Amino acid sequence: MGRNIVIVGNGSAPPCAAAMIDASDLVIRFNDCRSFHNTGTRTDIVAVCNTGRPARAMTSSPLWQNHPAVSSASTIWCVRNGQKFRELRDDLRESHPELDDFCDDMTPDFAAFAAANGKALTVIPRDVHDRLDRDLARVGTQRYVVPSSGLLAIGYVLDEIAGPDDTIHVTGFDHQGWDGHPFDAERRLVNMLVASGRLNRLPVHAGRRCA
């Protein structure tokens, strides 16, 4: 039998999703895990933005390090490939000079935290990022900085984690936030993946969405 994999964003999700998420086989949350409790508590993987200010804030924060979702996770995913971001640095100096530390790679700090706390660490391969850039271009998007952490994790699960018998669910994705992410295009791409059956939206119970 295949697994139920749930990718839980930090956006809005109905409370009735919590029981379904906690009963799943693999649950992925993001960064500061703001949806924790509202969408259940099971957390197997925390996917983190591992460059720039958000990464520095997490790795230096005892609140993040001791968060119950982070504590219970067996694995940390770094969604940003260091080599990819080193290559982006020069262009961003011209287009977004305010993002002076955006490409600073904090992966070694996350690796040290993972090792000290008995967790595995994975860096999502750059070819996932490259493929998503191509997919976003096909659905139509204006200039952007990088795909969101959520989309990078979805792409990685689809490409390398899920088996043919697994079912991948998503919830908590509002596709809103920092304007450096192409959220309109990401929404279109995720909707296409749902329509094709590669992704499913939670919550669903007995074939019906809960209120």
Per-residue pLDDT 10s for the chain (211 aa) are 899 999 999 998 887 889 999 999 999 999 999 989 889 999 999 999 999 999 999 999 999 999 999 999 999 999 999 999 999 999 999 999 999 999 999 999 999 999 999 999 999 999 999 999 999 999 988 889 999 999 999 999 999 999 999 999 999 999 999 999 999 999 999 999 999 999 999 865 444 455 5
Would you state the pLDDT for residue 208?
A: 47
Determine how many CB atoms are found less than 10 A away from the CB of residue 51: 25
Q: For residue 191, give both structure tokens.
A: 């909707």
Cis peptide before 203 (omega within 30 of 0): yes
Q: Which helix (H) or strand (E) holds 167?
A: strand 167-171
Instruction: Please state the domain extents for the chain.
Output: 4-201
- What is the identity of the amino acid at 122? T
15 vs 39: CA distance, rounded Å: 6
Exposed (0-12), middle (13-18) or buried (19+): which is 81, by Cβ within 10 Å? Answer: buried
CATH class of 4-201: alpha beta
Supply the pLDDT for residue 202: 85
pLDDT at 190: 97
Sign of the dihedral through C-alpha 78, 130, 157, 193: positive
Q: What is the pLDDT of residue 12?
A: 87
Positive or negative CA dihedral for 133, 135, 136, 140?
positive
CA separation (Å) from 1 to 43, 45, 158? 21, 21, 18
Strands 75-78 and 45-48: parallel
| Three-class DSSP category at 201 | strand
Query: What is the CB neighbour count within 10 angstroms for residue 171?
Result: 23
